[in-house]
Amino acid sequence: NAGVMQNPRHLVRRRGQEARLRCSPMKGHSHVYWYRQLPEEGLKFMVYLQKENIIDESGMPKERFSAEFPKEGPSILRIQQVVRGDSAAYFCASSHDSAEKLFFGSGTQLSVL
Amino acid sequence: DQQVKQNSPSLSVQEGRISILNCDYTNSMFDYFLWYKKYPAEGPTFLISISSIKDKNEDGRFTVFLNKSAKHLSLHIVPSQPGDSAVYFCAASASNTGKLIFGQGTTLQVKP
């Protein structure tokens, strides 16, 4: 399967714990995007990365959230000290080039108890 | 600041008829527009796109129309099929930013 792979599909955390969401882009894609979908809302842009570089993080909360896309390995979205409001579906997408159509993974559903 | 808006949260259509989904945008720098389809518990899948140099793009039962002066685009599905029932997202990007901005989505229900 050469699609965008996200894991885990479901993640349950208690308030104050850390959440790590992983994304492996499609083969040959060096551009990775993270989006968040809150219940009954659309997809909100969070961050755009290109191998080892953060290109645009304008949609990411200033505190507790961070993202990386190392030279080797998957992209990681990290949420520290999770709160109930972080509960959402987090989607990763990749593209071969910027401003092209994005291919999405199946998402990680984060539930904060 | 909602740069891409889908003002109809839901649409119900009879099988075989035409479905028309609408989308408005405010940023005149957008030059590439896409429609995605999403089923529950799955990621969005690409449906069709259009560049700002065109006003129409067709792919099988799906046609996207772009009216740049009105900053409006629409997706036509004809004939509609029950399997088309899903949430449809409109998205736009500007070539100088490299990211897609999505609308809120429209839930389409096609009744048999």
Position A42 scores a pLDDT of: 86
Size of interface A-B (CB pairs under 8 A): 57
Q: Which candidate from A6, A42, A101 shows the least CB-CB separation from B105?
A: A42
pLDDT digits (tens, 9 = 90+) for A5-14: 999 999 999 9
Residue A66, pLDDT score: 97
pLDDT at B94: 87
Closest chain A residue by Cα to residue B43: A106
Residue range A94-108: average pLDDT?
Answer: 86
Write down the residue that tokens 């500007």 correspond to: B94
DSSP H or E stretch at residue B32: strand B32-38
A98, closest residue in chain B (CA to CA): B98
Which residue among B32, B43, B105 places its CB closest to the CB of A106?
A: B43
**pLDDT tens-digit readout, A14-63:** 999 999 999 999 998 999 999 999 877 889 999 999 988 999 999 999 99
Averaged pLDDT for residues B14-27:
97
Q: How confident is the model at residue B1 (pLDDT cuts 50, 70, 90)?
A: low
User: Which has more pLDDT, A100 or A112?
Assistant: A112
* pLDDT for the residue A99: 61
Cβ atoms of A34 and A90 closer than 8 Å: yes
Is B27 in the A-facing interface, judged by CB distances under 8 Å? no
Mean pLDDT, chain B, whole residue set: 94
Residue B53: the pLDDT is 94
Q: Which residues in A lie closer than 8 A to residue B104 (C-beta atoms)? A: 41-42
B81 three-state secondary structure:
coil
For the record, the structure tokens of B2 come out as: 């909602």
- Would you mind telling me the total number of residues written for chain B in this entry? 112
Residues 6+ apart with CB under 8 A from B105: A42, B6, B9, B38, B87, B88, B89
Query: For residues A25 and B34, what is the distance between their CA atoms, to the nearest angstrom?
Result: 20
What residue of B is the nearest CA neighbor of A96?
Answer: B98
Q: Give residue-wise pLDDT tens across range B38-86.
A: 998 899 999 999 999 999 999 999 999 999 999 999 999 999 999 999 9
The residue of B23, B89, B100 whose CB has the most chain A CBs within 10 angstroms, and thus the best one to mutate to test that interface, is B100
Verify whether the Cβ–Cβ distance A106 to B45 is below 8 Å. no
Touching check for B43 and chain A: CB below 8 Å? Answer: yes
Average pLDDT, chain A: 92
| Nearest-Cα residue of chain B relative to residue A90 | B43
Q: Once rounded to an integer, what is the mean pLDDT over residues B11-27?
A: 97
Q: For B105-112, what is the mean pLDDT? A: 96
